[in-house]
Amino acid sequence: MIDDIRAARDAALARVEAAESLESVTALGTTLLGKKGALAQLKAQLGGLATVGEKKAAGQAVNEALQSVAAELAVRTDELGVAATDAQVQSERIDLTEHAGWPTRGHAHLVTQAWERLEDVFVGLGFRVAEGPEVETDWHNFEALNMGEGHPARGEFDTMFVDHAGDGAEPGRTVLRTHTSPVQIRTMLDQEPPIYIVAPGRVFRRDTPDATHMPVFHQIEGLVIDRDITMADLAGTIEAFTKAFFGPGWSSRLRPSYFPFTEPSAEFDIQRPDGSWLELGGCGMVHPNVLTACDLDPDEWSGFAFGFGIDRMAVMRHAVGDIRDMFTNDIRFLSQF
């Protein structure tokens, strides 16, 4: 009997040691220590032993065996519990050095690139960069540019008005500037000639976005005021700019046109090396009324001005099919430039 008990105990201990998971060791506890376990069954046979001494010895052996199996189960449960916790911690561990790919280096937006290159080229030609506000008075945006109230050219601008009542401003007299030309006025009022400035900036018109229009876009304005400035200076400046900006194989021409703030006025086109022409912008000799509005004597001072769209130029330069792509900021589009 004692041998059977020891054999059952050793078999039970071996199974506990062999258990590989918390679930299996828990299940073993029920099997080995329960009523149907080998040791319990041996215990049930104690009554059949011949002598009290034998019963006592065997009973003690069974109890010791059950205790040692229970102790081993506790040890194994602990071990497997620690291992399970370790495995869970490992699997849920956050790797702080992990990354989803290195960040890629970005670059300036296409419009910004064009804007900055334009500034560079004009600064190289001797111009300074000037600025003006995006919210303008009717006077700076129209009136001083020889577009008095009721002038038909105002209609072409699809102006957006700003509703503000401060500082005694009359309603309908504050606008989002429709072009960068008011910077001409501000510069002439601000500083004495000679003036050689370019003014890049954002402008606004009440246009529905389509492939060639945006309600917000960018222009660059140029203004020269000095003594004895002629149309030849204008044509030469446009030509020098065209070669410096687009390349030595490009050239330019002026075509007669009309703008209220210049007289004579022209549109300027640029010619690609393949001989084809692109319309770029407007220009002309600063109108005497504009000089007078800025307290400059037209008999003493003369000058020229020009203006063109930065986005439009970038669109032409890079053969972009839809100007809206310049503003949607789809990374697949932007990363090409």
Residues of the shown chain interacting with ligand DAH in the complex, contacts defined by CB under 6 A: 179, 181, 221, 259, 262, 282-284, 305-307
| 31 vs 292, beta carbon nearer ligand DAH | 292
Of the candidates 227, 220, 222, the one whose C-alpha atom is nearest the C-alpha of residue 192 is: 227
Minimum distance of ligand DAH from residue 315's CB (angstroms): 16
Residue 278: enclosing H or E segment and its boundaries? Answer: strand 277-286
One-letter amino acid for residue 68 of the chain: S
Minimum distance of ligand DAH from residue 221's CB (angstroms): 5
If you search the block for the tokens 């006077």, which residue do you land on?
139
CA–CA distances in Å: residue 54 to residues 3, 9, 47, 51, 64: 13, 18, 10, 5, 15
Counting beta carbons within 10 angstroms of the beta carbon of residue 158, is it exposed (0 to 12), middle (13 to 18) or buried (19 or more)? Answer: middle
| 115 vs 306, beta carbon nearer ligand DAH | 306
- Give the whole-angstrom CA distance, residue 259 versus residue 279: 16
Strand duo 302-309 + 160-161: pairing:
unpaired
Minimum distance of ligand DAH from residue 181's CB (angstroms): 4
Minimum distance of ligand DAH from residue 320's CB (angstroms): 21
| 196 vs 306, beta carbon nearer ligand DAH | 306
Minimum distance of ligand DAH from residue 225's CB (angstroms): 12
Strands (E), 168-208: 174-176, 195-204
- Give the whole-angstrom CA distance, residue 141 versus residue 184: 10
| 193 vs 282, beta carbon nearer ligand DAH | 282
| 301 vs 306, beta carbon nearer ligand DAH | 306
